């Protein structure tokens, strides 16, 4: 076993021993706000179903109806036959986005289908943001042996990006920049307005934005946080998204610029993975109907209230919050992996489930507690959590001889 695998395995085993990773929840009916973990009731600050739609009765009813019509699973490749719910999903996506849409089993599979037809491995270059989601990186790395030129830049460094665009434009027909709309670890957003300026300035620049964590959360009819920032679609943009986070169902999609791109991705883009299960398809149709209505903005407003409350309390409690964008993902810096792990375990004992983030998910020495908020949570839940985090953080770092100011310096928090 190589060093990286060994280190990763040790981190996971330590978290397993503390009961904060790979843990089954209790068999009781869930309410979205809490669940049982190891027999103990904990508030769920680890859900990515930000709007709380996964328990909406309309979505459950649609999923059940799909089972009654088509069975739990229609076991056939879409290349041969498929249930009509796929078409209904894509029609709804295209109505919301005004562009051709392709729905897939997962966002990872959607990336694969799209990238295989969008990228010319001999004539294109790809620039990856250092923190772009692993599903993007994985698919791109598989194309390097075929000749694709790939480089990485430091996270959201627009100055370095522009340098690379100028440099690579001399050698390649297209230069692709790939980043997240909302980055999954720190919850910060890609500098969308600056990217639009670069697209206008450099005709060879194309953007591939994975806004998995922004879909339904932001924008008119839930188009996502990236398009909310840009004010709508712009040229030379491919947008990918997830139906399994904000929308609360499952599957992933890509929004293309042209119908030809969509057809190529479906017909020859290695679109070979198994079909989406019918209850997920039925639920996706129902949630897209909610997104297409004005009701989605009520869900968004409720979530924004929780986001603002979280940010306000972090400021009052002097917590080292990394990133200040209006997203439902929060990262409270700690520093040392061992201390972050200890705090994560202590929070669980106090009745709060959060996501521990240590190396290799984050760089060495930049461990922390990743917290997500959803509409299932009450404002008092957020306050109780953050007061507990403040207490545990200060107790643990004091023992190690450093302060919140030291953490701010390490994470470059103003």
- Given this model, what pLDDT does residue 285 score? 98
pLDDT, position 31: 95
Which residue blocks in 35-170 are alpha helix, DSSP H?
57-70, 85-97, 107-118, 134-141, 158-169
Query: Would the pLDDT of 120 be above 90?
Result: yes
With cut-offs at 50, 70 and 90, classify the pLDDT of residue 274. Answer: confident
Mean predicted confidence (pLDDT) in 37-54: 96
- Fold (CATH) for 56-291: 3.40.640
**Which pLDDT score is estimated for 163?**
98
What is the reported pLDDT for 414?
78
Quick one: pLDDT at residue 273?
65
The pLDDT confidence band at residue 21, using thresholds 50, 70 and 90, is confident
* Integer Cα distance of 367 and 355 in angstroms: 11
How far is the C-alpha of 180 from the C-alpha of 229, rounded, in Å?
13
Q: Which pLDDT value is given to residue 13?
A: 76
Prediction pTM value: 0.95
pLDDT at 113 over 80: yes
**CATH fold of 3-50+296-411, please?**
3.90.1150
User: What average pLDDT is seen over the chain?
Assistant: 94
Strand order across the 367-372 sheet: 321-322, 329-335, 367-372, 355-357
pLDDT at 102 over 70: yes
Reading the block at residue 189, the tokens are: 């957003």
Average pLDDT over residues 14-38: 86
At residue 1, the pLDDT reads 58
Q: Do domains 3-50+296-411 and 56-291 have the same CATH topology?
A: no
The whole-number pLDDT of residue 43 equals 98
Predicted local confidence at residue 311, as pLDDT? 97
- Among all chains, which residue has been given the structure tokens 């957020």? 382
Give the confidence band of 73 by pLDDT, cuts at 50, 70, 90: very high
Tell me the average pLDDT across 6-26.
Answer: 77
**Phi/psi zone of residue 329: left (φ > 0), alpha (ψ -120 to 50 degrees), beta?**
beta
- Average the pLDDT over 301-328 and give the result: 96
Domain boundaries, the chain: 3-50+296-411, 56-291
Q: Are 39 and 235 in contact (CB under 8 A)?
A: no
Give the pLDDT confidence score for residue 22 in this predicted structure: 81
pLDDT computed for residue 207 by the predictor? 98
pLDDT at 19 over 80: no
Residue 35 scores a pLDDT above 80: yes
Helices (H), 152-268: 158-169, 192-201, 225-230, 259-268
Does residue 14 register a pLDDT over 70?
A: yes
Could you give the CA distance from residue 241 to residue 51 in angstroms, rounded to a whole number? 15
- pLDDT of amino acid 323: 87
Task: Transcribe 88-101 into DSSP letters.
Answer: HHHHHHHHHHSS-E
Q: Return the axis-axis angle of helices 337-349 and 3-17, rounded to nearest 10°.
A: 20
3-class DSSP state of 51:
coil
């Amino acid at each position: 076993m190589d060093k990286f695998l060994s280190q990763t395995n040790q981190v996971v085993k330590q978290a397993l021993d503390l009961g904060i990773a790979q843990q089954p929840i209790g068999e009781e009916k869930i309410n979205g706000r809490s669940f049982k973990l190891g027999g103990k009731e904990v508030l769920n600050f680890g859900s990515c179903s930000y709007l709380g739609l996964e328990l909406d009765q309309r979505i459950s009813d649609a999923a059940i109806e799909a089972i009654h019509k088509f069975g739990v699973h229609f076991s056939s490749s879409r290349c041969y036959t498929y249930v009509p719910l796929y078409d209904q999903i894509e029609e709804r996506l295209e109505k919301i986005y005004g562009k051709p849409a392709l729905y897939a089993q997962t966002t990872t599979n959607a990336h694969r289908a799209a990238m295989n037809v969008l990228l010319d491995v001999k004539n294109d270059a790809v620039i990856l943001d250092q923190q772009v989601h692993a599903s993007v990186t994985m698919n791109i790395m598989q194309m390097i042996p075929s000749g694709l030129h790939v480089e990485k830049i430091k996270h959201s460094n627009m100055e370095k990006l522009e340098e690379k665009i100028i440099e690579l434009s001399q050698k390649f027909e297209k230069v692709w920049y790939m980043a997240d709309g909302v980055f999954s670890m720190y919850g910060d957003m890609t500098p969308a307005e600056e990217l639009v300026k670069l697209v206008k300035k450099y005709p060879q620049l194309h953007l591939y934005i994975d806004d998995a964590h922004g879909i339904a959360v932001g924008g008119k009819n839930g188009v996502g946080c990236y398009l909310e920032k840009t004010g709508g679609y712009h040229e030379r943009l491919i947008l990918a998204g997830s139906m399994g986070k904000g929308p609360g169902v499952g599957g992933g999609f890509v929004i293309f610029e042209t119908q030809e791109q969509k057809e190529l991705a479906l017909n020859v883009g290695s679109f070979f993975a198994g079909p989406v299960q019918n209850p997920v398809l039925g639920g996706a149709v129902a949630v897209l109907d909610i997104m297409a209505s004005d009701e989605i903005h009520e869900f968004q407003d409720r979530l924004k209230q929780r986001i603002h409350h979280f940010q306000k309390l972090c400021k009052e409690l002097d917590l080292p919050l990394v990133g200040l964008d209006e997203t439902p993902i929060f990262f409270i810096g700690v520093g040392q992996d061992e201390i972050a792990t200890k705090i994560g375990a202590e929070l669980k004992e106090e009745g709060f489930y959060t996501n521990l983030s240590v190396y290799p998910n984050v760089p060495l020495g930049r461990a922390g507690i990743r917290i997500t908020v959803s509409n299932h949570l009450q404002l008092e839940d957020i306050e109780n959590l953050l007061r507990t985090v403040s207490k545990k953080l200060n107790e643990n770092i004091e023992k190690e001889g450093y302060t919140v100011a030291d953490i701010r310096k390490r994470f470059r928090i103003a």
